[in-house]
Chain A
Amino acid sequence: MQHYKNLKVIQRDLAAAKITCAGLVDFYLSNIAQSQETNAYLEVFEEEARQKAKELDQKIANGEKLGRLHGMVIAIKDVICYKNHKISASSNILSNFESLFSSTAVERILLEDAIIIGRTSCDEFAMGSTNENSAFGVVRNFDNLDKVPGGSSGGSAVAVQANTCLAALGSDTGGSVRQPASFCNVIGFKPTYGRISRHGLIAYASSFDQIGTLTQSVEDAALLLEIMAGKDDFDGTNSSKSVPKYSEALQEVSSDKEKKRIAYFKEALENEGLDAEIQQKTKELLAKLQSEGHTVEAVSFPYLDYLVPTYYILTTAEASSNLSRYDGIHYGHRSKDAKNMEATYRNSRTEAFGEEVKRRIMLGTFVLSSGYYDAYYSKAQKVRRLIHDYTRNIFKNFDFILTPTTPTPAFDIGDKEYQDPVSMYLADIYTVQANLVGIPAVSVPLSHHSNGMSFGVQLMADKFEESELLKFGKKLTL
């Protein structure tokens, strides 16, 4: 079977009876088996996927009306609830926990006949940039098994990279979709905060979290967004703005001669942590865009050094509270040697949370504690506001901000340099801004490093400007 990168092509071939859904599922299942050493999946819904494919093939044979995602085989990150299926957030604390409901995103793609093939590994509770923080083993980059796939949606990125599914859902709190997309040579897209309901997305940091997609084409990202986005009463922070036909907007891209205004941050490109090859390729891209007639201008961004600290103070604060519910009392792991209530909490959480999760809970607890709240949490909120206003202001004069997605290509599994959590956190420098501000951002593959690993480029747009963002993102992939 050919390597499909676009749902439209699959649907065309299904309609022409060149392939069947059952055949597609078999193909993806065999790819899963062949890429098992990546450890991308926590669970494969083999029987279910086959069954659903059979039903769809029957529908096609009967000439019944088909959902807009028919033929899409998709994997979901293990932080997105799917009714009557296990969900663990790659953590032992949710061992054997089954969700009683489906997230709004899953419900909406199922209604459009998507086939969910399995749930993918991630960093525990989406905390990490390497997918080494999963309680169920590290996930490996399919291009080079000694390299990390990035994180936290590493399993989803590898699942798409290894062509074990057409697309995957991830979640993006500070780059968790875009960074692994960059490392795995796929398209990673995070919509505006509030565009897709968070109902059924296990919370890491509530005011940052957003469901995103990992795909092999921008068209699929657009279609998935179109289907998942929109008002949902289960999420009070969800936007009620109407949902444009993103996928239709993309159809005009190849003939589109519109010139765009693109800003880049000098400080970001001259950042000493930035890999020289990535720097070079990004500069070349900017020059190319300029030569094509787009406005390309350097804009000063004085808050670059504050992005990562602000992000980590606020996300850990929210996480410390969001993860309080995993207490060993109501569900999930409960310590066997706890003799009273307090010990139940302490032992259950000590036993079942991983190191990175504990670190962030403690950090978050600290920044919220009395005596430190003003110096950390409250100050960080103010800085977030400054970053927000400054960034939004840039969009008064520009359509996009362009940055590298990551300062380096994928690093080695167990890389010593990143044993210090702070240096790991600093690698999030380009991606956290979109989450701090709540704007949409996409990472599209840019080039390959001399070490063989891919890397991407990131585009950010103003809130709810997904149509323009995806259109231009597609242009970059042409």
Chain B
Amino acid sequence: MDISKYETVIGLEIHVQLQTNSKIFAPDTNSFGAEPNTNISYITLGHPGTLPFANERIMEYAVKIGLATNCKIERHNRFARKNYFYADLPKGYQITQNLTPICYDGYLPIEVNGEVKKIGITRIHLEEDAGKSTHDQDPNYSLIDLNRAGTPLVEIVSEPDIRSADEAYQYVSDMRRIVRYLGISDADMEKGNLRCDVNISVMLKGAKEYGERVEVKNINSLRNVKRAIEFETKRQIKLVEKGVQVERQTRSFDASNGTTFSLRDKELAHDYRYFPEPDLPQMYVSEEYIAAIEAEMPTLPKALQDEFTQKLGLSAYDAGVLTDEKEMAAYFCEAIKHTDDYKAVVNWLMGPVKEYLNKNNADIGNFALLPKQLVELIHLIKDGQLSFSVAAQKLLPEWIEQPQMSALNLAKSLNLLMESDDDFIEEVIERVLQQFPDKVKAYQKGRKGMTGFFMGQIMKASKGKADPKLTNKLLAKKLKEVN
């Protein structure tokens, strides 16, 4: 089987749950993880006589994501009803935007293997989420949780511009980063805040017509986007090689073995009987409204990354890691207001801080030390009052416990400051040299590299407090004297 003969054509539909306080058309709390069927009012339940009324935040959020992805914005926004019966759909229809998506004709540039490629965005539309059905928890019943019903969603539909699993990965990953930066969603795939359906077909390279398309659903992590595409590509190519027609169908991804299986063969011709939602008025998005949102848009990760590499001279890698999370980037930006030593800040964030956060399962967003305080630490090291390792291993964990103290005072009280007292250092040097007479002899015989060994031992004996510059000088002098 010669895979290289084929080209994979991929389009993605990304559903993002918008993090609003209340639901899209009802005042119920919109939150993830509550006890089943607790965030449900009679409106969400679609009781007789209830009507939807739109949460105005959804327009703002949708415009934000539209602007971030270079879309045009529809001024006159209407909703439609998509009619179908399902147990987790209380009204028997879903309110969605059918013919008039709020955002359309946009693109997102992605970078894969150093090459930038624009992925077209067909449309971004608003809709309400359905409830959640669980079919495998009880032998006799399907369980329905309607907390999710009425959660605001945007569906971001890409053009079939994606050609590989890597591109798809990058596209979803960039999109996720963008919505997080915009603060409109946690976009956590495992929680279902961000869901991704993949439309995929294969064709011979250079072919004019796309192959029959298969939709893969239930992909619950970024890694699985890649796995699903890789599996599905191979499956389809195998069929084509055998001369079997790929069937248009909906498949589900099975994360346990990395395969896909058919959900519905030859997709039933669903007739959703869309028609304009008569219960909701048209929502108008004015020029001024868009301008106001545009003025408040945060710097997006790509722009920030460019700024870090081009203006601050950080490596592409460092810039990438720093901008991965909005909060980390914000912390960094705040910290460098207080120091020009960007690299030191990066090293601290990527090193001891990240290590601490990972170990304690914490977020930079609620890290005990302010960016300014981290810089205080960096300055102490630079001034030679503290060694990096003592600062990272001893002072940092203590300071996090009592961040109201100044770094200097805390270091003093813990006796962690460097000794720049000649007598103290000379005493330690003497002790070390006496301890290792053979090493001293070796040095005298010309093995000048022994200096490093002595320095290490001195640091150890002084518990890292000996000022390295001064120690170096005094050690050289002492070794000469012994000579």
Q: Which residues of chain A have a CB within 8 Å of any CB of chain B?
A: 79-81, 87, 89, 94, 97, 99-101, 103, 198-203, 205-207, 233-237, 317-318, 320-321, 323-325, 327, 329-331, 341-342, 345, 365, 368-370, 373, 377
In whole angstroms, how far apart are the Cα atoms of A99 and B281 in the complex? 26
Given A206-B279, A237-B279, A365-B273, answer yes or no on A330-B51 (Cβ-Cβ < 8 Å). no
Q: How far does the Cβ of A125 sit from chain B's closest Cβ, in whole Å?
A: 10
In whole angstroms, how far apart are the Cα atoms of A200 and B93 in the complex? 19
- 4 closest Cβ pairs, A-B complex: A324-B92, A206-B278, A368-B273, A207-B278
Q: Which of A81, A342, A370, A377 contacts B48 (CB 8 A)?
A: A81
In whole angstroms, how far apart are the Cα atoms of A207 and B278 in the complex? 6
Complex contact A330–B90 (CB within 8 A): yes
Q: How far does the Cβ of A323 sit from chain B's closest Cβ, in whole Å?
A: 8
Binary contact readout B24-55 vs A (1 if CB under 8 angstroms, 0 otherwise): 00000000000000000010011111111110
Residue pairs across A and B with Cβ atoms less than 8 A apart, 29 shown, are A87-B49, A100-B47, A101-B47, A103-B49, A198-B51, A199-B49, A199-B50, A200-B49, A202-B48, A203-B48, A203-B49, A205-B278, A234-B53, A235-B51, A236-B52, A236-B281, A237-B51, A237-B279, A320-B273, A321-B92, A321-B273, A323-B92, A325-B46, A325-B90, A325-B91, A327-B85, A330-B46, A368-B274, A368-B275
Given A368-B275, A369-B273, answer yes or no on A324-B93 (Cβ-Cβ < 8 Å). yes
Complex contact B51–A199 (CB within 8 A): yes
In whole angstroms, how far apart are the Cα atoms of A454 and B48 in the complex? 34
Q: Which of B48, B81, B271, B280 contacts A321 (CB 8 A)?
A: B81
B83 beta carbon closer than 8 Å to chain A: yes
Complex contact B279–A321 (CB within 8 A): no
In whole angstroms, how far apart are the Cα atoms of A237 and B25 in the complex? 13
- Residues of A near B90 (CB, < 8 A) are 325, 330
In whole angstroms, how far apart are the Cα atoms of A199 and B81 in the complex? 19
B368 beta carbon closer than 8 Å to chain A: no
B87 beta carbon closer than 8 Å to chain A: yes
Complex contact A325–B275 (CB within 8 A): no
In whole angstroms, how far apart are the Cα atoms of A200 and B49 in the complex? 4
Binary contact readout B270-304 vs A (1 if CB under 8 angstroms, 0 otherwise): 01011100111100000000000000000000000
Complex contact A236–B92 (CB within 8 A): no
Complex contact B50–A237 (CB within 8 A): no
* B window 347-397: CB within 8 A of A: none
Q: How far does the Cβ of B195 sit from chain A's closest Cβ, in whole Å?
A: 23
Binary contact readout B90-125 vs A (1 if CB under 8 angstroms, 0 otherwise): 111100000000000000000000000000000000
In whole angstroms, how far apart are the Cα atoms of A200 and B52 in the complex? 12
In whole angstroms, how far apart are the Cα atoms of A202 and B52 in the complex? 13
Complex contact A369–B279 (CB within 8 A): no
Q: Which of A200, A321, A327 contacts B275 (CB 8 A)?
A: A321
Closest chain B residue, CB of each to CB of A378? B275
Binary contact readout B122-149 vs A (1 if CB under 8 angstroms, 0 otherwise): 0000000000000000000010000000
- Residue of B47, B54, B271 most packed against chain A (CB within 10 A): B47
Q: How far does the Cβ of B141 sit from chain A's closest Cβ, in whole Å?
A: 11
In whole angstroms, how far apart are the Cα atoms of A235 and B47 in the complex? 14
Complex contact A236–B273 (CB within 8 A): no
- Residues of A near B91 (CB, < 8 A) are 324-325
- Residue of B52, B85, B93 most packed against chain A (CB within 10 A): B85
Given A202-B48, A325-B48, answer yes or no on A345-B85 (Cβ-Cβ < 8 Å). yes
In whole angstroms, how far apart are the Cα atoms of A235 and B50 in the complex? 9
Q: How far does the Cβ of B148 sit from chain A's closest Cβ, in whole Å?
A: 15
- Residues of A near B271 (CB, < 8 A) are 369-370
Total A-B pairs, Cβ < 8 A: 98
- Residues of B near A373 (CB, < 8 A) are 273, 275
- Residues of A near B52 (CB, < 8 A) are 236
Closest chain A residue, CB of each to CB of B133? A341
Closest chain B residue, CB of each to CB of A371? B271
Q: Which of B48, B85, B281 contacts A94 (CB 8 A)?
A: B48
Q: How far does the Cβ of A452 sit from chain B's closest Cβ, in whole Å?
A: 38
- Residue of B50, B81, B93, B271 most packed against chain A (CB within 10 A): B50
- Residue of A101, A201, A321, A342 most packed against chain B (CB within 10 A): A321
- Residues of B near A79 (CB, < 8 A) are 49
- Residues of A near B81 (CB, < 8 A) are 321
In whole angstroms, how far apart are the Cα atoms of A345 and B83 in the complex? 14
Contact residues of A: prevailing secondary structure: loop
Complex contact A101–B279 (CB within 8 A): no
* B window 55-93: CB within 8 A of A: 81, 83, 85, 87, 90-93
In whole angstroms, how far apart are the Cα atoms of A193 and B90 in the complex? 26
- Residues of B near A201 (CB, < 8 A) are 49
Complex contact B48–A236 (CB within 8 A): no
Q: How far does the Cβ of B286 sit from chain A's closest Cβ, in whole Å?
A: 18
Apart from A207-B278, A236-B52, A324-B92, list 8 A-B contacts with CB within 8 A: A198-B51, A321-B275, A324-B85, A325-B90, A342-B85, A368-B83, A368-B274, A373-B275
In whole angstroms, how far apart are the Cα atoms of A325 and B46 in the complex? 7
Q: How far does the Cβ of B244 sit from chain A's closest Cβ, in whole Å?
A: 30
Complex contact B53–A89 (CB within 8 A): no
- Residues of B near A330 (CB, < 8 A) are 45-46, 90
In whole angstroms, how far apart are the Cα atoms of A234 and B47 in the complex? 14
Complex contact B48–A327 (CB within 8 A): no
In whole angstroms, how far apart are the Cα atoms of A359 and B87 in the complex? 24
- Residues of B near A94 (CB, < 8 A) are 48
Complex contact B53–A233 (CB within 8 A): yes
In whole angstroms, how far apart are the Cα atoms of A370 and B275 in the complex? 11
Complex contact A99–B47 (CB within 8 A): yes
In whole angstroms, how far apart are the Cα atoms of A393 and B142 in the complex? 56
- Residues of B near A81 (CB, < 8 A) are 48-49
- Residues of B near A368 (CB, < 8 A) are 83, 273-275
Q: Which of A202, A206, A233, A327 contacts B92 (CB 8 A)?
A: A327
Closest chain A residue, CB of each to CB of B270? A370
- Residues of B near A233 (CB, < 8 A) are 53
Closest chain B residue, CB of each to CB of A209? B278
Complex contact A237–B92 (CB within 8 A): no
In whole angstroms, how far apart are the Cα atoms of A133 and B81 in the complex? 28
Complex contact A236–B278 (CB within 8 A): no
In whole angstroms, how far apart are the Cα atoms of A101 and B43 in the complex? 10
In whole angstroms, how far apart are the Cα atoms of A200 and B42 in the complex? 11
In whole angstroms, how far apart are the Cα atoms of A325 and B81 in the complex? 13
In whole angstroms, how far apart are the Cα atoms of A340 and B47 in the complex? 23
Given A94-B48, A200-B49, A234-B51, answer yes or no on A329-B281 (Cβ-Cβ < 8 Å). no
Binary contact readout B250-285 vs A (1 if CB under 8 angstroms, 0 otherwise): 000000000000000000000101110011110000
Complex contact B92–A317 (CB within 8 A): no
- Residues of A near B45 (CB, < 8 A) are 330-331
Q: Which of A80, A235, A317 contacts B53 (CB 8 A)?
A: A235
In whole angstroms, how far apart are the Cα atoms of A19 and B42 in the complex? 41
- Residues of A near B273 (CB, < 8 A) are 320-321, 365, 368-370, 373
Closest chain A residue, CB of each to CB of B53? A236
- Residues of B near A100 (CB, < 8 A) are 42, 47
- Residues of A near B87 (CB, < 8 A) are 329, 341
- Residues of B near A87 (CB, < 8 A) are 48-49
In whole angstroms, how far apart are the Cα atoms of A206 and B79 in the complex? 14
- Residues of B near A377 (CB, < 8 A) are 275
Given A200-B49, A327-B92, answer yes or no on A237-B281 (Cβ-Cβ < 8 Å). yes
Q: How far does the Cβ of B318 sit from chain A's closest Cβ, in whole Å?
A: 49
Q: How far does the Cβ of B343 sit from chain A's closest Cβ, in whole Å?
A: 55
Q: How far does the Cβ of B126 sit from chain A's closest Cβ, in whole Å?
A: 15
Q: How far does the Cβ of A435 sit from chain B's closest Cβ, in whole Å?
A: 12
- Residues of A near B275 (CB, < 8 A) are 317-318, 321, 368, 373, 377
- Residues of B near A200 (CB, < 8 A) are 49-50
- Residues of B near A331 (CB, < 8 A) are 45, 47
Q: How far does the Cβ of B409 sit from chain A's closest Cβ, in whole Å?
A: 56
Q: Which of A97, A234, A237, A317 contacts B280 (CB 8 A)?
A: A237
In whole angstroms, how far apart are the Cα atoms of A144 and B85 in the complex? 44
- Residues of B near A235 (CB, < 8 A) are 51, 53
Q: How far does the Cβ of A383 sit from chain B's closest Cβ, in whole Å?
A: 15
In whole angstroms, how far apart are the Cα atoms of A161 and B307 in the complex? 79
